[in-house]
Amino acid sequence: MDLFEELGVRKIINAEGTRTYLGGSVPDLRVMEAMKEASQNFVVMMELLEKAGQIIAEVTGAEAGMVTSGSTAALVLGMAACIMRDSELEKFEVQPVEKLSFDREWLDIIQKLPKISRVRSEIIIQKAHRVPYYHAFLVAGSKLVVIGTRQDCSHAELEAAINENTAAIAFTAHKENVGVPLKKVVEIASRYDIPVIVDAAAELPPRDNLRRYIAEGADLVVFSGGKQISGPNNTGILCGRRDLIKLATLQAAPYRGIGRSMKVDRTQIVGLIVALRLWLEKDEKVEFEAWRAKARWIANELKGAPSILRSDVFVEKLRSRVYAHITLDEKNGLSAADLVLNLRLGDPSIWVTYKRSNKIQINTSTLKDGEEKIVVSALKKMLSE
């Protein structure tokens, strides 16, 4: 009996993708070995965070970086940094790290968030770019200013929303084809000295995106460490301007700011850095073709199966994503919602994505070799019944 069986927790076949609620990703065993080794020694955490940040800066092309406890924590800390610009906190010197216990004189300033008297605490968001994770900005003490519609936003609307209260502008990378594009957002923001925060949590691969948003002028960029990078599920990356990363760091653990509860363990920091290095060594084309081969096999195997109208391979080239899309014949009384639920309740439990009333999506990037056959077998059996 393995540990999950002993705990009474089901192991699943993940055909949804790198979802946080399914554990994120499966780390390389070398990542786990590095985390095990890191757990056996004490270190000065500020020093470890600084060294990890230098590695992140190097691979992203940013001035500085830091490891966070997930992408949402990175959004909180990034927003906190933008609010605290031009405050007395900028005078705080983090070196030498040995003086951490003597930072009492700065404690009141560090702990002003989220209740602040500072005027500049608003963040502008295009309505088409608003996602549930932007509650993180409220946690930091900001106010959301939503502009435009779900379908569009103009340059004029963005510029008109900027005032003396504006602390930052948010941009959602996977919504980049809707509304004001990033380069234009950066151009407008720079005229008013307003930082731009890019949420690119799930935008890896392609690996080029690690450097792309910084290169396009973003001041802060957020990535998940626990998705395709395959680091610990509760890790994230915040990279960008040195002055903003410094302020974000002072809000995080081991300092005593709003991010103190968002602590990152030494094993997680080491795990993320090792995972990042291993991920960058992989051949992206070979990786993608392996995903596509599984998607093609699934689509071909399900063609002509009962209650299936179509089975296709769907490729998002810009985001390096590939899926098998299965379209159901609703005349037979079978809905996609029913199929998704029954797959989850089955043995083994299989998780696929509900797309709409007659369509499901199978993500092959998280399927272990051979699991595609189990998914197809379960679908055929369920559809025939």
Residue 69 lies in a domain: yes
Number of domains observed in the structure of the chain: 2
Q: Do 59 and 121 have their domain in common? A: yes
Closest residue by Cα to residue 237 from 37, 58, 65, 82: 65
Of 281, 305, 335, the one marking the end of a domain is 281
The CATH number of whichever domain residue 149 belongs to comes to 3.40.640.10
Domain-located, residue 330: yes
C-alpha distances out from residue 234 to 51, 131, 223, Å: 19, 19, 12
Question: In this structure, is residue 9 part of a structural domain?
Answer: no
Same domain membership, residue 213 and residue 275: yes
Q: Are residues 213 and 336 in the same domain?
A: no
Residue 18 lies in a domain: no
Report d(CA 148, CA 152) in Å as an integer.
6
Q: 229 with 80, same domain?
A: yes
Shared-domain flag, residues 220 and 327 = no
Q: Which of 266, 281, 296 is the last residue of a domain?
A: 281
pLDDT for res 103: 60
Residue 217 and residue 353 in one domain: no
The answer to whether residue 300 sits within a structural domain is yes
In a domain, 214, yes or no: yes
**Same domain (yes/no): 76, 158:** yes
- The answer to whether residues 88 and 105 belong to one domain is yes
Among residues 228, 262, 281, which one ends one of the domains? 281
Q: What is the pLDDT of residue 199?
A: 97
Which residue do the tokens 């499901």 mark? 360
Are residues 198 and 301 located together in one domain of the fold? Answer: no
Do the domain assignments include residue 14? no
Q: How much is the pTM?
A: 0.93
| pLDDT of amino acid 319 | 83
Could you tell me if 264 and 302 lie in one domain? no
Residues 6+ apart with CB under 8 A from 64: 53, 54, 57, 239, 240, 241, 242, 245, 246
Write out the chain's pLDDT in tens, 385 residues: 588 888 888 899 999 999 999 999 999 999 999 999 999 999 999 999 999 999 999 999 999 999 999 999 999 999 999 999 988 888 887 777 666 655 666 777 888 888 776 678 999 999 999 998 889 999 998 999 999 999 999 999 999 999 999 999 999 999 999 999 999 999 999 999 999 999 999 999 999 999 999 999 999 999 999 999 999 999 999 999 999 999 999 999 888 888 999 999 999 999 999 999 999 999 999 999 999 999 999 999 999 888 888 999 999 887 889 999 999 987 777 889 999 999 999 989 999 999 999 999 999 999 999 999 999 999 999 888 7
Q: Are residues 187 and 134 in the same domain?
A: yes
pLDDT at residue number 1: 58
Q: Give the chain as a 3 state SS string.
A: CCHHHHHCCCCEEECCCCCHHHCCCCCCHHHHHHHHHHCCCCCCHHHHHHHHHHHHHHHHCCCEEEEECCHHHHHHHHHHHHHCCCCHHHHCCCCCHHHHHHCHHHHHHHCCCCCCCCCCCEEEEEHHHCCHHHHHHHHCCCEEEEECCCCCCCHHHHHHHCCCCEEEEEEEHHHCCCCCCHHHHHHHHHHCCCCEEEECCCCCCCCCHHHHHHHCCCCEEEEECCCCCCCCCCCEEEEECHHHHHHHHHCECCCCCCECCCCCCHHHHHHHHHHHHHHHHCCHHHHHHHHHHHHHHHHHHHCCCCCEEEEEEEEECCCCEEEEEEEECHHHCCCHHHHHHHHHHCCCEEECEEEECCEEEEEHHHCCCCHHHHHHHHHHHHHHC
Q: Which residue segment(s) compose the domain that 371 sits in?
A: 283-384
Per-residue pLDDT, 311: 94
Do 157 and 238 reside in the same domain of the chain? yes
CA dist 261 to 35, 100, 253, 316, 381, Å? Answer: 21, 18, 7, 37, 47
